[in-house]
Amino acid sequence: MIGRFITLEGGEGTGKSTQARRLAKALEARKLKCLVTREPGGSPGAEEIRKLLVSGEPGRWDALTETLLIFAARADHVARTIGPALVEGRYVISDRFTDSTYAYQGVGRDMPRETIRRIESVVLDDFKPDMTLVLDLPVDVGLARARARAKGAASDETRFEKFDVKFHERLRQAFTDIAKRAPDRCTVIDASGTEDEVAEAIWTQVARRFALG
């Protein structure tokens, strides 16, 4: 059995975590082994780095330091979690991967794209997802959802939500542009519908891509 690597991308509050779990359940219902993971994080070492990235104030790190921290976490994530699961033949579903770095640190924080590409080349070589689902939602709706979620969970993982609205508008455009540049890998999903509607749209695309019926 060949493992498949699927990533969910998008701005804050687009429902990636929820939809990753829904997709895994749909695959498991068809007797396919799955692993749901996330970035930053996904392995013990990467989760420790996550704590540095997603809490505190927006200016805690400059763009280069932030990018290096993210790729350090990603290297551990791929080596210890994603890679072994793919070798076992699992479908790996990750809430964020390298596209988020190009959006958040690249477009959002003005990190040169070529600098990110060079770091990516060293850390990941040519490793990329088999399929990327970009969940798209108006910024005001996504931020309202994200803030309500954080408040309900009493979470301190709110650093990126504290960036201004213009930052988040740049992110939304960045993800749209990423999808346009890689149409063979990326599919944009309208995340403004109900949870069930979005899950159905995602399943339609995944089933078609991997001939799952």
* Mean pLDDT, residues 70-89 taken together: 97
pLDDT tens profile 166-194 = 999 999 999 999 999 999 999 999 999 99
Higher pLDDT, 2 or 79: 79
Whole-angstrom Cα distance, residue 19 to residue 136?
13
Residue 80 parent element (H or E): none
Beta bridge partners of 105: none
Mean pLDDT of the 5-28 span: 96
pLDDT digits over 123-163, tens only?
999 899 999 999 999 999 998 888 887 676 656 777 888 88
**β-strands 4-10, 131-136 pairing:** parallel
pLDDT surpasses 70 at 107: yes
What confidence score (pLDDT) does residue 99 get?
Answer: 98
Q: Using 50, 70 and 90 to split pLDDT, how confident is the model at 98?
A: very high
d(CA 25, CA 5): 16
For the record, the structure tokens of 213 come out as: 């019926």
Tokens of 103: 């959006």
Q: What does the alpha-carbon distance between residue 175 and residue 104 come to, in Å, rounded to a whole number?
A: 9
> From start to end of the chain, where are the E strands?
4-10, 34-38, 91-95, 131-136, 186-190
Q: How many CB atoms lie within 10 A of CB 172?
A: 21
Task: Look up the CATH architecture of domain 4-209.
Answer: 3-Layer(aba) Sandwich (3.40)
pLDDT digits (tens, 9 = 90+) for 36-58: 999 999 999 999 999 999 888 88
* Structure-block tokens of residue 19: 């939809």
How far is it, in rounded angstroms, from Cα 179 to Cα 204?
18
Cis peptide bond prior to 40, omega within 30° of 0: yes
